[in-house]
């Protein structure tokens, strides 16, 4: 069973990744960063390189756009895994026309059985308008479902707005406020 699971939710560029990294950085555990974004252009390659540099050399980075469940299943006790982010992972599966329900079930099962601590970053998409096209509506519904299921399984859920964290479930860890 997952030793500890935290979900960090917020809008785009809200500061959720910074908060998630703060949750991990001072832990006396081996740090593993699971990146789900694909670096398909120079802008994304530059952004990824900047993030790796900012995190520092004490992180093991795994770039995996689809197989998050496998990566999480491979984790060991004594590790803390930061999965950034569930939204990109879901988008990758949606665009590949995969069975989102099956992929979500596999992800949640892997998290539940992981002996590592897991921190997951995900976008909150339920605060905006109803999208005008079917693909965007399907994404929004699937993202909402994923977030609800992650939050139900998590020990702690942290919302982030304008870089400020607030507890949605559990308590804010010391040093985040």
* pLDDT of amino acid 137: 92
pTM for the whole structure:
0.93
Catalytic residue numbers read 51
Positive or negative torsion for Cα 30, 36, 40, 46: negative
Q: What does DSSP say about strands 156-161 and 164-169: parallel, antiparallel, or unpaired?
A: antiparallel
Q: Which helix (H) or strand (E) holds 27?
A: none
* pLDDT of amino acid 131: 87
* pLDDT of amino acid 3: 64
Rounded Cα distance, 85 and 41, in Å: 18
Q: Which of 141, 90, 150 is CA-nearest to residue 120?
A: 150
* pLDDT of amino acid 48: 85
**Could you report the average pLDDT of every consecutive run of 10 residues in the chain (177 residues)?**
85 93 92 92 88 88 97 97 97 96 97 97 89 92 96 97 96 84
* pLDDT of amino acid 162: 94
């Amino acid at each position: 069973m997952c030793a500890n699971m935290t979900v960090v939710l917020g809008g785009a560029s809200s500061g959720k990744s910074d908060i998630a990294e703060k949750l991990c950085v001072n832990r006396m555990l081996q740090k593993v960063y699971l990146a789900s974004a694909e670096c398909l252009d120079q802008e994304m390659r530059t952004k990824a390189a900047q993030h790796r540099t900012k995190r520092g050399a004490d992180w093991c980075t795994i770039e995996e756009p689809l197989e998050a469940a496998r990566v999480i299943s491979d984790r060991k006790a004594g590790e803390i895994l930061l999965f950034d982010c569930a939204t990109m992972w879901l988008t990758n599966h949606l665009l590949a026309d995969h069975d989102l329900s099956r992929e979500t079930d596999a992800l949640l099962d892997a998290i539940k059985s992981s002996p590592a601590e897991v921190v997951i970053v995900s976008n909150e998409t339920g605060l905006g308008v109803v999208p005008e096209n079917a693909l965007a509506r399907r994404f929004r519904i699937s993202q909402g479902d994923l977030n609800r299921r992650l939050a139900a399984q998590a020990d702690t859920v942290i919302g982030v707005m304008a870089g400020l964290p607030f507890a949605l479930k559990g308590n804010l860890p010391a040093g985040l406020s």
